[in-house]
Amino acid sequence: MVEFSPEHTPVIIDGVRTPFMRSHKAYVSLRSCDLGRLAISGLMDRLGIAGETIEHVSI
């Protein structure tokens, strides 16, 4: 089992998803990584988290 120091303990702070859309509509020009970036950006804005405080993101 991996042990983390208190300042490096992984945490889940909240969740977010992109709205559902029909195929070939609003998201057709976006790559999956672009959708993920938009979702994470919205989550950070909602929670007031600065980007420089995040080390890793798992999608």
Q: What is the pLDDT of residue 50?
A: 92
Distance from C-alpha of 30 to C-alpha of 27, rounded to nearest angstrom:
5
Looking up tokens 């509509």 gives 25
How far apart CA 36 and CA 34 sit, in angstroms, is: 5
Give the separation between CA 16 and CA 6, rounded to whole angstroms. 26
pTM over 0.95? The answer is no
The confidence score (pLDDT) of residue 10 equals 78
Query: What type of residue is 48?
Result: G
Kindly report, residue by residue over 2-59, the tens digit of the pLDDT. Answer: 777 777 777 777 888 887 877 778 778 888 888 888 888 988 999 898 989 888 887 7
Q: How much is the pLDDT for 27? A: 79
For the record, the structure tokens of 48 come out as: 């007031």
